Structure 1
Amino acid sequence: MEEHVGPSTHNNSKLPPTASIPLPVITSIDALTSADVRAARTSMVGTTTPDINTGALAAPSTTVVVDRNKVNLESHQLVWLDANVNNSEHEDTTVTLAGLRKIIDYTKLFDNISECKEYLKSTENGSTFLVTSGSFGQTFVPEIHEVEIIYKIYVYCGNKEFHQKWASKYSKTKNRIHIKLDELLNDLTNDVREYLKSEIAGTIMNLSGKEDQTTDVFCSWWTHTFDLLCCLPYPMDCHQKLVDTLKSYYEGKENEMKVIREFEISYEPKHAIWWYTRPTFFYAILNRSLRQHNIELIFLFGFYIKDVYYQLKDEHEKLKLKHLKEPKIKLYRGQLMAMNEIKKLKEIDGPNYIVNSCLLSTSLNRSVSLEFLKSAEKSEGLEHVFFEIDIDTRKLARPYGNISHLSYVTAEAEILFMIGVIFRITKGNVTYNNDDKVWIIKCSSSFDSILDFESAFSTGSQRRILKNSINKFWHNSTKMPTRKSEDVNMLFNELIKLFPLEEDWILSYKLCCLADIDMWHEKSTSALSQYDEAINIWLNYLKDDELNCSIDIGEIHKDIGTVYQIYTDDTNRAEEHYKMSFSYLQSAIERSTTEQEKIDILVKLISIVIECELYESLDKYDDALIYYEKAFEAAVKSKDSRWIEIACDNMIETYIKHKNDYQSALKYQLIRHEHILKDNTPQIWDDIDETSCKKAEIADSHIRLAESYILLDQYDLVKLHLTTAKELYEESGKDGRRHLSRTTEKLADIEAKLKEYGLAHEHFNMALKLHQDLLREYEGKLNNEAANSTGKEYHPWANAD
């Protein structure tokens, strides 16, 4: 596709309005000097995000140098294998790197099979267009045909009839045998054009960010990384850093350089989605970095991702208002997916979740989406998959919205989802449609932890906003066993590049994250060393009211106490650090400047008391109850039902197990029950599964109340709550039958105590039948699993040597 410079030259797109700015009189954008561009941009910069001047945090602009010989910024590459590829004596077969880069920017030339094979082995992601000579191909194609990264293979030879015989056996080489160079290059160009069309439409993207895998971890570390990116107060030079890096990478490619210069002068936050939907290398680089979890590139695009987030947030609010009367929407998306991933989703037993780690495009128009999917050419191992997505606009969610009026491409009703949206798939919702020859996957929007970082940067100085954002990231994301130390190092290195003047205290967060990883791996000595180093850094900032680092020192002391309590069994040192943690956090409340910050600190105080359980481990139950009561009061102030319930749980357990005070335990059991009822209030947008879960949650609470009344010998109330629980489990459906059988059995026991023998006999029989049914189902499931067990996995490279 030919790229035009300047919005006014493209007649088939909806263009961003041009700002009215004083510019030098020029005949071409190429005539602008760097100084002109910077001056023009300064005149036209606008914002849709909070107005934060980050100049004080910034360092002089530096270009991120990308070695194009080692790094491919795009989603595809060309590999050319021919003994004569570097031989200028064969003019009729000679190709130039410059010429091939006009078709595919990232091109590698090889004149022997072994080096080519090693290179392909080292290529983990993306799609490869492979051109091979006939003599090499006859040996090489059978070895590498099944490798997933190989997208299409072209055979360039002198005897088409001979090579057609063996090449026709392989789907990736079929009908791609050429004896004329210009015909091969024309074929390659057309295939690349179709590939890029499919990529732009999302048919070769996936939800997880991994090239061969669509399912992903619920609430992943990667999602929290994007939460951070959407909150950082970016320095003013971030735009120019991205431009300079792209200029360095695409030096010598005039079409790309024109687009970069246009982006340099005309980009504004309100045009973020317009640039995302424009079919250029810009889109391809962003999506590749998202799919590959390339932290360095993602941070380079960080300011832009934040702009997209805010545009989608605005459109999300508009969409909700538009659908107040009809809040349920059905969306459609076609894409290619690996068969092994389809099989995983098809075989799920119960609900499963997928998290999109890229921006996800969908449509309100089913027929258009389906027809486009059918037009997408399948490669080996991939299947056509059609998603039918049910959305309820009343649910809390990360932003999504109708971007048709913001898009570069004229499209009706395109709905774009922000990174991190969670979708839910239930059993039986993955089927094959023989009429359309596609797999149908039905899913729905799930409970979604909306971006809670916004409270961190809604008010305060830029340093306070930066610090609160990183603290939120540490608190939310790194207490997970799945993250890697190299990812943590890379992420914080990028943060320090962005904000070099704050390097010291940013480094303290990095040390804490690495210490957390050591804790997961039970490396207590290393963890304690890094926590101590982090505290020593923060102690230098105790008088810095802008940072209020008492919060961080308190959290680190809590983590140190946990190491001593769990990993070294030194309860005295643990108690010492827990007390210091509590003291620092109480001090931080006094210095906090916003209500939200006070609530966040209260939650941290609660977690110290609840999670550590120190006094119980020391058999100091009166002290434990004093601190649990403080945690309960803090939880009530925070208005966080989750923490209120947890605080109640701890007091209930202590009163029952260690104080034999059943009346006090009942008091907190009733408070807990009140919040369970509140949290599980039926909503009109709840689907069947959500309704069932809520009923089961309330039933569980009634069971707990019944157990409390048993301790007080109040059997009439025991029967009342067990009966209510039984009815709720019956309404919750098939998944609640195990609880139903146990509850029915307990109810029969109580009825026997109350000498209601007829009811007791009836309920005993009912419980017995439920137990028998569950046992038969379990045995049947085991037999099915044994019958469906598979053999060894096939690895394409196993026989490559």
Structure 2
Amino acid sequence: MIISDSFVQTVVPIVHDIPLIDTIYILVENGAQHEDLTKEWSKINGVFTDIDSICKSLQQPADVDDKNLVTISSVSTNSESHRQNSDRLDPSFMYTQILKEILLTIDFEEKHFNQFISYCRELYQGDSIRLKTIDKLEQEYHLHDPIWWYTSDSFLYSMLGQSLRTMEVNLIIKMGFFIKDLHNSISKLYAQQFSENSSSNSLTVYRGQGMSQANFDQMFKIQGGLLSFNNFLSTSLDREISFFFADASHSNPDIIGVLFEITINPSASSVPFAKISDVKYFEEGEEILFSTHSKFRIESIKQIDGNNRLWQVNLMLTDDNDPEIHALTEYMREEIYSEAQGWDRLGLLLIKLGKFDKAQEVYDILLGETTTDQEKALMYHRLGMIKNSQGRYTDAITYFQQSIEIKKKVLSPTDSDLASSYDNIGLVYKNMRDYSNALSFHQNALEIRQKNLPANHHDLATSYNNIGLVYNHMSDYSNALSFHQKALEIRQKTLPSNHPDLASSYNNMGSVYENMGNYSNALVLHQKALEIREKTLPSNHPSLAASYGHVGIALSEIGDHSKAILHCERALKMVEDSLQANHPHIQFYRDNLEYVIQVDRHAYRPKFNQNHLDEDDNDDDDSTSKFENLLEKSITGESISSDESFSLNIDDSLTIQSSTSKIRKQKITSDNNQKQSTKKRRRITSTEAAPVRKRRRTKDIDEVNEGEKKVLKQKQTAKKTNLFDIKFHIKSAT
């Protein structure tokens, strides 16, 4: 903000503490002296006699702000050991790293550069200065080194930084050609400057920037742990220049000034870096530029000159890894790379990230460029997966059927690739509540896989998981638990302990217990799924939203209403941020939030009495102890025998339903409130969030087995809560 000195006394006291105002400049018109103002008001940068001097001063904070925006990943402590926790990296580090690796394998063409230029012209329409820069970029891009462009006075530096900082996938892909060119340029210089035959002595570089108090506190807690930078990282050999940026940053009362002192062993880094003085835009300064995803060990953190708003952080460049994220990264990299190439790899990653609209853009283009029936079948299959995830089920069926028609012409009836298509089309029918067709397609897929695959193959786990989902919707909880248990056992043996598919198994088993009225066991399983997803998925992923929703409903059922509301609110916010506005699942999350609010408002359900439930079941046949023993084995990874797995019979369901019914009879409320709440509850339980589960019609009762008849009869006295469901994307063979 620029203020005339004649308004200083009236305006500055009013605006100084507004967070959006970072810096105030005083323009003196009559030669008056106001040096004391900078001491009285911390946001006043200085007193100036002309606009030109203010403009020069403005350039420095702009550079400081750009440096402050570089993404730094670290995590706070929890119940794990300090060292184990301090080595954990944010999940975004893994996904952006894989995304960068994929971009480096893509052969970008001139059309991709032209598409970026068109995007920039539209973005900066009406900005004559930016448009001139875009014209220059279009005409001269290949005349200069990518490092020259990155360090020039243009929008590329800030645009690229923003896309990597916010994980804005659309923009990262648009700038993919530049990310690849810039990385390759740094790698080339790194090979020249730090080759095996060159000196590998350690060197020290510096970086000055500002950090929010919250981010600094988080970093301070994990001294000795890992710190990562997702962006291209600019550092300097000159400590004084870097100190200037750190010192300038802490003038803002909301920012901590940080001077990073970084020790580098050139022979111990997998991330390329280089001295760029000879190729950068500005000749002054000895700058070292790192490619993305550099990792450092935090050696120490100490105040500078006793100033508690200015700190020095000593870092050591390292190849050390968060062991859990590293194992998962390797597994997911193998999953994606083993079945796809180039843009197809990118599309698969976008599906895993829940970026379905952008994935559709990729596959629409690839479909138009296909030259063989085999390629078309694959693109139809991918588009079917996307449409199912978008809630456009009719379109999904159409794409999957087109894929199957092509495959049937060239593949044997027992080919594993057909099994993948059958399994996916079964998921769509489940989402459409056509459970008969869903079960038929899933069983066809399972039969093919059992003939072709070893007993512990992950595709078999996929089939078991999806059949379990259908049985849960059909209220056949014994079979649902049995199939989910089979899927879980395979995944525990073959997947990293934090793989999202394990979270899916815990989530889906929790949903069965939820349907059976055993909210205590359901809550344990849903919290286990949530724990994995928080560590391994982006912050607004639909599956993470599903876990928050499940936990919220379970908390509501056991009487912890305030936490239930918080979880359901967070779930709704995630799906609103990640799905299209017209996606059918969004309304289900809204309904569930409204439901838990109504439960809290009318308080017609008492806190869930676990002791009462255990006692009732022990008086019967100790079925609850069977549940909890198996549940404990599932969570700890202990093997479960086939006899134990199938001991979860329909009578166990009836026992828990009966006990839950007794508890609910204890609620005390007015008739009006009970009618209102029950009416609301019935409206919500007629559907199911992500995706819908419709109540079974009376005329269907004769079509089910005797065990199901008992469950359906029991449902008349013990109503079940609304559920969330996991959409499980199975990977298909190419």
- TM-score normalised to structure 2 length: 0.48
- The structure richer in helix per residue is 2
- TM-score normalised to structure 1 length: 0.45
